[in-house]
Structure 1
């Protein structure tokens, strides 16, 4: 078994253990205002980090290409409260257009 598979199995076991420990936490601990605020904001922060990583990197390099322009259009459309389908299609059209013009 390679070191990669050992790492994958170890990460899976640790992830399961962490989730199990979370279920064992008493409800009064989770209802504290500070903990509730953190647990509410944590998924947003993780999703933001994922979007930033996927939009601005290629391998180990930071790149500025059509993905960032499409992300900018998506942010503007979301700020204008456009329907989600319009946001996705608008961002896709901008990315496709810029790539057709040879950028990114």
Structure 2
């Protein structure tokens, strides 16, 4: 019984620690990153990632108390989603911003 009182809290701490390592991006964050991605040039994935970083972090005011930092894992997932689109879908997305957001949010 005494071992259970020690093992159970340790197990709970381990589970919470493991859970904290997984990304937890809100739907609002995903939608924001998609909107930023659709607004930048996405012909080259390297520059798209850097452009997204510049837009997201560049929007911070010098006096902001809570600065928004670029989440590279979320940015990579958005770029990966772009690569999963067919060439026709990519072409349509490049021509129409709202179509881009719709295709990327599916």
TM-score, structure 1 length as denominator? 0.31
